[in-house]
Amino acid sequence: MENEEIQIPTNHPRAESLRIRETLIRYWKDHHIVADSGLIAHGRGEAFDYLIGETTIPPAQEATTAAAAHLLLARKPVISVNGNAAALASKELVKLSHLSGAALEVNLFYRTRERIEAIGNLLYEAGASKVLGLGDDNSHAIIPELNSGRRITDRSGIFSTDVVLVPLEDGDRTEALRKLGKIVLTIDLNPLSRTAQTASVTIVDNLVRAIPNLVSEVNRLKSEDKQEEKCRKIVDRYDNGRILADALNFIQRRLSVLSERAL
């Protein structure tokens, strides 16, 4: 099986979803970038992607605009990168970092030296100019109240940032980062997760669609006149509770239509 390419018929109804699975498996098996539990977490996300119709829904688009505005307003934004995010979107994450001025920091729940280095190398290969979170103990700062590897952060990165984008986060850390007063932007297909519920901005979408969308929103906002004023207005009007309600209502309506069709 090693390195064997699985042929996915292009007309398969779940071709894109299967292609993403194969990518994750390759980064798990060959590159040791994705953790075992990363594969399972992806399955949880896939189930919700099925429910939203594997497309970017309007509340996700709105949240993406707010996230882009936060990144542009931030004093010192950081993008936290884990194994799944690196495997699925390394090039787009680097693009987002360059465009928004956000630093990239490797931060892992299942932290091993091998995975940290592999993810750092992947980001450098994708064009990153600097990656935080790879360093020795001198650059570490501990986030209180956390037990997983994610408590170890870079002193000049997540630890001191005002705005952090945490794609595919776990609930404990989102809560801890919020308690530290940070603005937390997340991408999570499950609008019911603790991450989704406690973040400042939740993009209910697949990471593979959400990061390129964020890149285009940052680009769009950067080209506007009175950029800062416009971004401020966007974040002031934004209400994450309503976005989550809209996402749940979208799923509810879609299921009603589908269940009527099945009768």
Contact footprint for ligand ATP (CB under 6 A): 41-42, 44-45, 48, 168, 170-171, 187-190, 193-195, 206-207
Which lies closer to Mg ion via its Cβ, residue 162 or residue 170? 170
Query: Whole-number minimum distance, CB 195 to ligand ATP, in Å?
Result: 3
Q: By beta-carbon distance, which residue lies closest to Mg ion?
A: 170
Do the beta carbons of residue 154 and residue 135 sit within 8 Å?
Answer: yes
Residue 45, binding choice from Mg ion, ligand ATP, none, Cβ under 5 to 8 Å by partner class: ligand ATP
> How many Å apart are CA 157 and CA 159, to the nearest integer?
5
Which lies closer to Mg ion via its Cβ, residue 190 or residue 200? 190
> How many Å apart are CA 150 and CA 79, to the nearest integer?
14
Query: Whole-number minimum distance, CB 167 to ligand ATP, in Å?
Result: 7
Which lies closer to Mg ion via its Cβ, residue 90 or residue 198? 198
> How many Å apart are CA 182 and CA 201, to the nearest integer?
12
Positive or negative, the CA dihedral 46, 48, 53, 55 is: negative
Long-range CB contacts (< 8 A, 24+ apart) of 230-238?
230/69, 231/69, 231/70, 231/72, 231/73, 232/69, 232/73, 234/65, 234/66, 234/69, 235/66, 235/69, 235/70, 235/73, 238/62, 238/63, 238/66, 238/201
Which lies closer to Mg ion via its Cβ, residue 3 or residue 147? 147
Do the beta carbons of residue 178 and residue 184 sit within 8 Å?
Answer: yes
Cβ neighbour number for residue 20 with a 10 Å cutoff:
20
Query: Whole-number minimum distance, CB 76 to Mg ion, in Å?
Result: 27
Query: Whole-number minimum distance, CB 196 to Mg ion, in Å?
Result: 11
Rg of the chain taking only CA atoms, in angstroms:
18
Report which secondary-structure segment, H or E, holds 22. helix 15-29
Give the E-state strand segments of 188-241 in sequence order: 201-203
- Examine residue 110 and tell whether it contacts Mg ion (CB under 5 A): no
Query: Whole-number minimum distance, CB 196 to ligand ATP, in Å?
Result: 7
Q: By beta-carbon distance, which residue lies closest to ligand ATP?
A: 45
Q: Is 150 exposed, middle or buried (0-12, 13-18, 19+ CB in 10 A)?
A: buried
Q: How many residues bind Mg ion (CB under 5 A)?
A: 1
- Examine residue 170 and tell whether it contacts Mg ion (CB under 5 A): yes
Task: Give 76's DSSP letter.
Answer: S
Which lies closer to ligand ATP via its Cβ, residue 17 or residue 121? 17
Which lies closer to ligand ATP via its Cβ, residue 129 or residue 216? 216
Residue 41, binding choice from ligand ATP, Mg ion, none, Cβ under 5 to 8 Å by partner class: ligand ATP
Which lies closer to ligand ATP via its Cβ, residue 110 or residue 124? 110
Query: Whole-number minimum distance, CB 89 to ligand ATP, in Å?
Result: 9
> How many Å apart are CA 205 and CA 69, to the nearest integer?
18
Residue 189, binding choice from ligand ATP, Mg ion, none, Cβ under 5 to 8 Å by partner class: ligand ATP
Query: Whole-number minimum distance, CB 170 to Mg ion, in Å?
Result: 4
Interface residues with Mg ion (CB under 5 A)? 170
